[in-house]
Amino acid sequence: MTKEGRGFLRKTKQREVILSVLRSTDTHPNADWIYEEVKQVLPNVSLGTIYRNLRILVESGEALELCYGSAASRFDGNPQNHYHFVCEKCENVYDLKVPVNDEVARRLSDVTGHLITDHRLEFYGICKDCKVYNDASTRHED
């Protein structure tokens, strides 16, 4: 039982470029940013195509979608589960290089009776850079 939920997928230039753009960065970009990048290779590409393919890539397990509040979704070209740290000041998303704990999910499957197949762990705070900036200034409000 794979992550597929769709019949035949044709290989298209658009999806290929979208995936390569996504894999070329670790900034966890949103659809708009990807759109701008892809346009440099395929000037006629449509934003709808970006969204459609991102959805396909996420559903087929080739990318991850990260959702934060009412802001646009961000995407990650590394489909292996991993954890993130989000800076609430600069909104950067950092990959965390710590091992993923699948043990907890397995244990929780037993305890709860639910079939747990996945999990997401996100950390929040102020990143190293913004922290320095904050300490240096004496402002108390934004």
With CB under 7 A as the contact rule, the residue among 44, 80, 117, 137 that binds DNA is: 44
Q: Structure tokens of 17?
A: 């470029």
| Nearest C-alpha neighbor of 94 from the set 105, 83, 106 | 83
Rg (CA), the chain: 18
Cα 34 to Cα 14, 25, 60: the distances in Å are: 12, 10, 19
Q: Among a copy of itself, DNA, none, what does residue 94 contact (CB within 5–8 Å per kind)?
A: a copy of itself
Considering the complex, what minimum distance in angstroms separates the CB of residue 54 from DNA? 8
| Nearest C-alpha neighbor of 56 from the set 95, 21, 7 | 7
Residues 47-76 that bind DNA (CB under 7 A): 47-49, 51-53, 55-56, 69-73
Kindly state whether residue 15 participates in binding DNA, applying the rule CB under 7 A.
yes
Kindly state whether residue 90 participates in binding a copy of itself, applying the rule CB under 8 A.
no
Kindly state whether residue 10 participates in binding a copy of itself, applying the rule CB under 8 A.
no
Q: Structure tokens of 47?
A: 């934003």
Kindly state whether residue 100 participates in binding a copy of itself, applying the rule CB under 8 A.
no
Name beta bridge partners: 85: 94, 123
**Are the beta carbons of 58 and 113 closer than 8 angstroms?**
no
With CB under 8 A as the contact rule, the residue among 19, 54, 87, 93 that binds a copy of itself is: 87
By the criterion CB under 8 A, which residues form the site for a copy of itself?
5, 65, 67-70, 73, 85, 87, 94, 96, 98, 105, 108-109, 111-128, 131, 141-142
By the criterion CB under 7 A, which residues form the site for DNA?
7-15, 30-32, 42, 44-49, 51-53, 55-56, 69-73
